[in-house]
Structure formats: C-alpha cells, structure tokens
Structure 1
Amino acid sequence: MKKSSEDIDDLIIKGVDLFLTEIKFLAKNKKPDVILCVLDEKFTNMVYGTKTVEIDEEEDEESSLSIEINFRRLLKAKSMEYNIPIQIVRDRIVKPSKEMQDEATIAWNFFTALYYKASGTPWALKKASTNNTCFAGISFYKSRDKSTTQTSVTQIFNEQGNGVILRGTPVKESKKDKQPHLTEKQAFDLLYSSLKEYYEAVKIYPQRLVIHKSSNYSEEEVQGFQRVADKMNINSLDLVTIMPTNLRLYREGGYPPFRGTMLSLDKQRHFLYTRGYVDFYETYPGKYIPSPIEIRLFSYDESPEQICNEILSLTKMNWNNTQFDRKFPITIDCSRNVGEILKYLDKDQKPQIKYSFYM
C-alpha cells in the first residue's frame, strides 16, 4: 500500500523523536564530542522512497534528501539544545554502490567532517596580510509554510574558519527588484550583533570585513553596514554580491576556461570561474560544462583582483564536502545551508552559533 504524505510526515517526526531520546541520554551521561546518527536503509527508503537519489555535483548527499518535512533538517534543529554536534550517516556507506563516491573519498569526507565537528581545524586560508580579515555571508530563506516573509541569516569566518551563526529578523521583498532587502536598522542590528558574537568567540574585532551577499545591496543596506564599520573602527569594508550567471567563456581548442579565470566588464562587475580546467590534473575534473559566477562590487576598499582571489580560496573551505573547487564560496554555501535548518527552529529557540551544528 502506498503511503500518503501525512504518513511519511508522521514517520519522520517519530523517527526524530527516537533519535532525540538517545541524543539527550548521551549528552547528559557521556558528553561526547560528536554524536553519530546512523540511518537504516529500510527507514531511509520509507522516508525518501526507493528511487535512487540523484546527487548534483554542487550539493552534498545529506542536503539532497529533501521532503516537505525534512528529516535531516528537523533532527539538526531539534538536537541543538543538547550542545553536541551530530553527524547523520546512512549505513550504506560501509558497502558503497556504483553510483556513490569511491570508498577513499567517502572516508576522507566522513572523517574530515568528524574532525571539524570535534573542534578541529582541517585546514585554513593562507594569511595574505597582517590585517585581521573576516568574511561574512548573508542570504535569505522562506519560512516552512512557504509564505512570502523571509528572514536573513549571517555567519562570519576568519582565515582559520572560526565563525558565528546568527538569525536575523523577518524582511520584506522590494517592489523594485523583487529581492528581499534589509532596512538600514536591520542591516545595522544584524551585523553589529554578529560582530559582538564574533568577538565573544575569538576575542578580537576584524580590521577588514568582507560581506558576501546572494542579492544586490540596497542603499539602506549599504548605509547600515557602513555605520557598523564606523562604530567598530573597521578600517576596510567590501560589499560583494555573488550570484549565478548565464554568461559563458570559451577557450581555444574546445577546453573549458581555467579555474580562476576572471573577466572584468568594468570596475564593479566581474565574472569568475571557480570551477574549470586545472593544470595539475591536465583536465577539468567535473561532469558538467562549468559556468562562472557573477561578482558585483557595491563598495570596496581592496582591489577586485584580491576580492576574487579570496572568493576562489573560500570555495575550498567547505568541510562538509572536501571537494577543492566548489562553485560558491563557503560564505554563500554556509548561509544557505544554515537557513534551511534555522527554519525548523522554534521562535523562542536560540540557535547554535557554530557552523558544525548545521553541516
């Protein structure tokens, strides 16, 4: 008998409750660094169906398992109150099928994620200057009822990958460009609160701040962010929009453009190939034709070349998937992934500030 969506939703909720009972016990009595939640394939198939899940190259396996009430997101959100990161594992990884990654890649990704969630630092950005630079990502997500109200989320990384997560306030969609925007007060409050939390975590304020956003900046947003920079004596502020584009470049001989190729239309508008031909491999290590990302600079103190080079470096910082050439930097990837889990938190539930609780 075919199960209805209501039956599946009920199964997810009961399954989450069972895991939460064990997570609560372990957190109270054992206090581990990370808790593994292993999913039996029979349960997984009941929840997500028996069809083989197609994994997009830009998405990790966990985030591709999506349903109206999403098991992964609900469990991540509900388990936060026990203050221990969890790692969801499907038991099929012990015997990978042909459509899955090879055993070595699975092991590398799995243990890298565990190491980071246990407060380790797998790798870090090379420090380019003596300035203390931080990178923040801001994006928007819809509530679970898919209403038009959207809420902002920000996270801040330094060169070591340390950072904080913060949930913003509801925002409205602009009638001009049909994109969600913060008011000047929301922009100020969100960034100010994030930097205060960041200081509590690493005990230092940044000298330079780079904000990556998935939509254009409004005048109010620019003014709000600039007020924070002035108030906190931040010497350098770069406001950057990063978005997909339909533009394509072609290299003589039919090969994809080199990873790191940058095309500038003017001082504000640039295109960057974060995926492409890699000299070390003497090929393009991907399944699909690579496309660049569009980078718009609304306000900047550093050169466009440096800003693009930093974006390229930040594509290597996703410890949930150790692919070295992600399309988007961790700032954008993280803020999107965080938003998908924050929507499952209760309004009065305080979110965890560490990214390890969301990956």
Structure 2
Amino acid sequence: MSFTPRLIEIAEPELQFAFGQAVAHPKDGLSLYGPLRGSLTGSRLRIGIVATERGRQIYGKFAERLSKPIAPAKPDDPNHTLFPGFQAIFGVEWPSQPVAYLEIDPADLDAAISMPDRHQAIHKAVSLYSDAIAQHLRDDAEAHVDLWMAIVPEDVHKYCRPQSKSKKGGPEQVAPAALMDKKQATRLLTNEPGLFEEDAKSAEIYLYELDFHNQLKARLLEHRAAVQVLRETTMAPEEFLNKIGKPLRALQDPATLAWNLATTCYFKAGGKPWQLAYVRPGVCYVGVVFKQDASNPEPGMVCCGAQMFLESGDGVVFKGTPGQFKSEKEDDFHLPRDKAKALMSLVVEAYRRGHGGEAPKELFIHGKTRFSYEEWEGFRETVPPETNVVCVRIREDSGVKLYRHGPSAIARGMAWIKSETRGYLWTKGYVSRLQTYAGREVPSPLTIEIVRGNADIEQVMGDVLGLTKLNYNACIYGDGVPVTLRFADTVGEILTAAPRTEDLPPLPFRYYI
C-alpha cells in the first residue's frame, strides 16, 4: 500500500493554569489566572542563600526588584510582556530576607579558586557551598528551606569551569602533599588499592567534574537540596560595569530575565507553574540519557539514566547501572536487554506508585539514537501486554529547510509527514501570538521517527510539540526540543559529576536543572 507524503499544520498545544483555564502562552496564563494550585499557594517561599556578604546585599536588592512590576523593554511589542511582580503572578510571597543565610568568606573562596591544580581548586570551591548547606541540614532540620540560592562572584564562573585556568595574582598556594595527576589517580583507584586512606581521598577528587555548577548540584542530590546557582552579575548587572560604563555581560532585558528566573525558582521550590491542558490519560513519556562516566574509575564506563514525564508535567530522574554500552558508532550507545529492563522497571514502578498500581496505557520512549530490538524487548517486559510501548528517535536536522512565500519564516507546528513512521516537525518558526520568529537563521526541523512499536505519526508529533512547552527553566512560548530530551545532556552531566558509593533513588526533575 503506497503512502502519500503530506504537509500539515499541528495546532499549538494549550497549557492549563489555575481554575482550569487554558491558553497557549505561559505568560498570558500566569498573568491572567496564576499557576496551578498547590502546596505553595498563598504561602511565603522559604529561601536560603549561600553567599559572601556582598552576595547577601545583592540578594536583598534582587528580592526587592522581583517583588515589583518591571516594564517590558518594548511596550507595544507582543514578544515583550510586563512582569507584574512575583507575588502578583504566583500568589506566593518572595521574602526580602532569607530564612537561612550561610556566609562564605571571600578570602577562603579566593584562596580555593586560586589553587594551581584545577581539580583541587574547583572541588574546594564547591565544598565551601555544599558543606555549608549539608551542615545546616544536619543542625537545623526543622528550619525547612524550599530553595537554596548559591550566589557566586564572577570569578567562580570564570575559573571554575571546564578548560578554565588558575587565577593569576590570587593568594599564594602550596600544593597539598597528596597532590597527583589524573592518570596517577585513576591508576591508584583501579589497579592499586593504595596504602593509605588519604591517598584514596586525594585521588577521588580527580573523579569530580571540572564544573562548579554541575558538581555542586551532584553533591547536593543526596541531601535532597534544590539549588539555584546565580552569578552576582545576573542579579545586579548595574553594579558590574566595564570601562565605558556598560554592564560586563549582555543579559536579557530586565522583564524577560525576571519572568525566566521567577518561573524556574517557583518550580524548583516545589510549585507547578502549568501543565498541558488536553492530554490522553495513562500516557507516560520517557527520555533516555547516556553519558560517558568520568567519575567512574573504570575506563569506558557509561552512565544511563531516564527522565519520566507524566501528562501532568511532573518529572522524575532515574539513574541506571553504569556499563560499557558503546556500539560501533561514535557516541552511539545501546543497552543490553537486562539493563534496559532494569532501567525501565524503575520508571514503571514509580508510575504505578502514583497511579494506584496501574501501569501506563501508553509508554513513549524518546532518544537520540535508534533503539535496538534488545532494548525494545527489555522495555516491553516491564509492562503488561496491553500497554503500547513505542520507541521514538528525535534528532535536530539542519539539512532540511522549508520556505514560504513572503518575509516570514515557516510557522511553528508545521509538519512534513514522509511516511507512516517518519517525518519532520518544525518546533521553531513564526509564532502569530508573538508576531515574530525568535531566530536569525532559517528554522530547522526535528526528525521524528518511530523505530519500534506502533503509533500514529501525527499523534506522536503532536505529543512532541506539547512537550516543548514544559520547560520550566524559563517562561517561553515554546522550546525547540521536547522536555524529554531538552535537558538530557545536563542531567547526564550531573549524574556523572561526582563519584558515588550508593545508588541514587529516583528524584524529582527540579533537583537537576
């Protein structure tokens, strides 16, 4: 039976807000109706900050600014929206003073990032923040904090990232006696047990990722501490100027920045800004993540994880057992049948716990690579036969372009159905509500391919378009990638940013972004 390719337009999915109201744009819904009702409604956020004294002062000004309306950069531009103020939007008070303030000595922080060995330097800098939070959680368990804000000076961003060099002109540092290079550390942890405990501890530092942000989040996972890392230059750009009196960094306009920061902080504190308005009951979406595990002393190990998202927008991250999953192609990973079953069992068990013991009716598994038959069989063994398991490959494709007559780019939501299992979906493009296309180049589509199982390709594309609207790390009309894969690299990096002696339990998605 022949198939006729066709070009269709998928309607923009709507989002649900308070009182069951549905609109397409998050800013419209939050401004008119407010977020979904939940435990935070009508309360006051309990914010804890970890910062230097200057960072604490910057927080005070930031909190005051966030509590008031901020005018849009362009009043008559539909792409810019007035920020009404945090409490006016979310019905929750943002405190001018934190419930906990953990002070970082700037001299200690400067000494840490000035250490000549980058592994030692970044680990020490992270320890100043993570140890302070961990100590607070042990000593003041009753003083609950909804969200920790790690406020960092610009030097932390500059000198505590991959490929960064040591700070020049900082305090003179003496290398520790147990200092070693990465090769020696790996050999000690794999082939040689080591004579002394301090040798192993010194070597373990080299298994942490050279990234302040990822390492801090990874080290706080075991404490269930949600953290927002913010640079002082983001919170108070007017205080950090260059030689000609301009801000050091080019940031979003104040209203847009406030919308994005307010939304992600509300979400990380435990609130739910919105969810998809019209969804099929019993649907479960899973994004599969692979990441080379540099924190594992055994060479060639790969960490596999899964991100589960429900029709309500709730997300949970699961970490599977590391293994050597690499295939013949570079950066192409596949799970053996038993590992695939074990990973998806974690997902399905969590789903059952939240749905009265019922398995999902539909299980859509998204990935960037083609799922093998072994993986599919392993996934299917975790659910009853009546559950429809579908494996979908999603990739950005810059080699395909579609043009329209006139000055505007192709509309977001256009889809070119090439076959019953494959097509192109434009998640980026012209948006009539915004009267613009937020891009500088001709938009590229996502290649959507059903590689295992049976499903309607148009429905799969509609689901993917809906999942582009569940990025709570910002307040935007729609993302270019579904949330199942949008943060795959970030989640993978955090899962592997620190060595672990115990398996991580499933944790809400808000701890990772």
One of 85, 101, 105 as aligned partner of 2:252 = 101
- For 1:173 and 1:217, locate their aligned partners in 2 and report how far apart those are by CA, in whole Å: 13
Q: Is the 8 A contact 1:171 1:181 kept in 2?
A: no
Matched position secondary structure for 2:320: strand
One of 61, 77, 89 as aligned partner of 2:230 = 89
- For 2:354 and 2:485, locate their aligned partners in 1 and report how far apart those are by CA, in whole Å: 21
Q: Is the 8 A contact 2:413 2:427 kept in 1?
A: yes
Q: Is the 8 A contact 2:363 2:389 kept in 1?
A: yes
The answer as to 2:503 corresponding to 1:350 is yes
One of 114, 117, 123 as aligned partner of 2:268 = 117
One of 117, 131, 140 as aligned partner of 2:290 = 140
Q: 1:171-228, CA deviations, whole angstroms, 9 ceiling, x for partnerless residues?
A: 4222378721111111111101221133335655322111111100111112112222
Query: How many residues are matched?
Result: 338
Moved more, 341-350 or 200-209: 200-209
Q: Is the 8 A contact 1:315 1:329 kept in 2?
A: yes
The answer as to 2:369 corresponding to 1:215 is yes
What's 1:186 paired with?
339
Change (3 A) 1:23 1:300: same
Q: Is the 8 A contact 1:137 1:213 kept in 2?
A: yes
Moved more, 169-178 or 331-340: 169-178
- For 1:200 and 1:346, locate their aligned partners in 2 and report how far apart those are by CA, in whole Å: 29
User: Structure 2 matches for 1:324-339, cutoff 5 A?
Assistant: 324-339=477-492
- For 1:299 and 1:197, locate their aligned partners in 2 and report how far apart those are by CA, in whole Å: 23
Output the amino acid matched with 1:113: T
Change (3 A) 1:145 1:69: same
- For 1:297 and 1:179, locate their aligned partners in 2 and report how far apart those are by CA, in whole Å: 18
- For 1:78 and 1:86, locate their aligned partners in 2 and report how far apart those are by CA, in whole Å: 11
User: Structure 2 matches for 1:168-187, cutoff 5 A?
Assistant: 168-169=320-321, 170-175=323-328, 179-187=332-340
Output the amino acid matched with 1:283: T
Listed as ranges, the gaps of 5+ residues in structure 2 are 1-112, 166-207, 238-246
Shift of 1:264: 1.6
The answer as to 2:394 corresponding to 1:242 is yes
Shift of 1:5: 9.3
- For 1:196 and 1:128, locate their aligned partners in 2 and report how far apart those are by CA, in whole Å: 22
Shift of 1:240: 0.5
Shift of 1:42: 3.4
Normalised by the length of structure 1, the TM-score is: 0.86
User: Structure 2 matches for 1:70-81, cutoff 5 A?
Assistant: 70-81=211-222
What's 1:45 paired with?
158
- For 2:488 and 2:502, locate their aligned partners in 1 and report how far apart those are by CA, in whole Å: 19
Shift of 1:46: 3.5
One of 451, 466, 484 as aligned partner of 1:313 = 466
Change (3 A) 1:165 1:145: closer
- For 1:9 and 1:117, locate their aligned partners in 2 and report how far apart those are by CA, in whole Å: 29
Q: 1:23-62, CA deviations, whole angstroms, 9 ceiling, x for partnerless residues?
A: 1133231221111110012333343569xxxxxxxxxxxx
What's 1:157 paired with?
309
What's 2:410 paired with?
257
Shift of 1:134: 0.9
Change (3 A) 1:270 1:148: farther
User: Structure 2 matches for 1:272-283, cutoff 5 A?
Assistant: 272-283=425-436
Change (3 A) 1:75 1:336: same
One of 93, 115, 119 as aligned partner of 1:9 = 119
Change (3 A) 1:154 1:234: farther
Output the amino acid matched with 1:75: L
Change (3 A) 1:255 1:17: same
**Identity of paired residues, percent?**
29
